Amino acid sequence: MIRIGKTQTLELKRSSPHGWYLTDNHNNEVLLPNKFCSEDFESGIKIDVFIFRDSEQRLTATIQKPKLELYQYALLPIVATSRIGAFADMGLEKHLLIPFKEMHERLQQGENVMIYMFLDSVTERLVGSARVTKWLEKEDIHLKRGEKVHFQYFESHNLGYKVIINQRYQGILYKKEVVQPLQLGNEGYAFVENIRPDGLIDLKPLGLGREKLSDTCNMILNYLSQNDNFMEYNDKSSADSIREVFNMSKRTFKETLGDLYKKRLITIRERGVYRNNPNNHGG
């Protein structure tokens, strides 16, 4: 079926004076206006398009790539206000309406705001909400301690940063554990440290801006877990043996050990490396 608010792969079916009609596997049709069409188009070609309703409520396709899709969050600039609400730039020619009832306070032009996009049940139009926590799941948590998750920072907290986890849950990163202060909208990865009874989730940062190193940290922690929390490899091991076992350069390996050591996750000895308190860390 053709889904509003989603990017889909549809087939060029027939041309018209207004553009090309695209179809799905069930022969449902949607118009791709002329301004998005190419002279190279011909029947049978499949293309990726985003689906929305235009100002006249017509189902419409576009090749423009939105900054967010249905049931997702993204930091968007407010580009206009009106008597019915505010409008955010979502990456399309058509802006996203945020009604007053979906704001905690009046949004102003020029602001950057974390927005959730949903489908209005009456008009079937895409609508935005600045009431972030209203849409986050707090009961049915499908995460486990130590799991690596994606986060987006949306609001400050006296102890740290409130974040959206995997576009679905609410969590917090504590200031004392974050090396560099976050800016609104910053994204990254972290480990689940604790899932509270109220559904809020405490996170442990992986290291912002150092995703490669964080992944290698996780790799070594997993190796230790699978080998009784000890490995004979250390910074004196040969480059060949390190590459063979861990598929990384000796330089990266040494940097990773240094990072794990600073976080007190490992102890380095002459005969090898030990993992500290493995039950207290994800990996």
pLDDT digit string, tens, across residues 34-85: 999 999 999 999 999 999 998 888 999 999 999 999 999 999 999 999 999 9
In a domain, 100, yes or no: yes
* 91 is a domain residue: yes
Question: Nearest Cα to 218, choosing from 179, 263, 271, 169?
Answer: 263
Residue 12 resides in a domain: yes
Q: Which range (104-113, 172-181, 184-193, 212-221) has the least confidence?
A: 212-221
192 token code pair: 């689940």
Q: Which residue has the higher pLDDT, 281 or 220?
A: 220
User: Considering the domain boundaries, does residue 67 fall inside one?
Assistant: no
pLDDT at 278: 53
CATH number at residue 159: 2.40.50.140
| Structural domain count of the chain | 4
The answer to whether 51 and 2 have CB atoms below 8 angstroms apart is: yes
Would the pLDDT of 173 be above 60? yes
Q: Is 255 helix (H, G, I), strand (E, B) or coil?
A: helix
> What is the model's pTM?
0.70
* Residue range of the domain that includes 90: 73-133
More confident residue, 206 or 12: 12
Stretch 261-273: mean pLDDT: 89
* Domain assignment of residue 14, yes or no: yes
Torsion sign (Cα): 108, 109, 111, 116: positive
208, pLDDT greater than 50: no
- Put the strands of the sheet holding 272-275 in their side by side order: 230-231, 272-275, 266-269
Question: Exposure of 253 by Cβ count < 10 A (0-12 exposed, 13-18 middle, 19+ buried)?
Answer: buried
Mean pLDDT of all residues in 177-187: 85
Q: Which residues contact 194 (CB under 8 A, 6 or more apart)?
A: 145, 201, 202
Q: Calculate mean pLDDT across residues 140-159.
A: 91
Q: How many percent of the chain have pLDDT more than 90? A: 63
Residue 139 belongs to a domain? no
What's the CA gap between 256 and 217, in Å, rounded? Answer: 6
Write the pLDDT tens digit of every residue in 79-137: 999 999 999 999 999 999 999 999 999 999 999 999 999 999 888 899 999 999 999 99
**Structural domain contains residue 138:** no
**Domain-embedded: residue 141:** no
CB-based contact 63:32 (threshold 8 Å): yes
pLDDT greater than 90 at residue 33: yes
214 pLDDT band, cuts 50/70/90, is: low
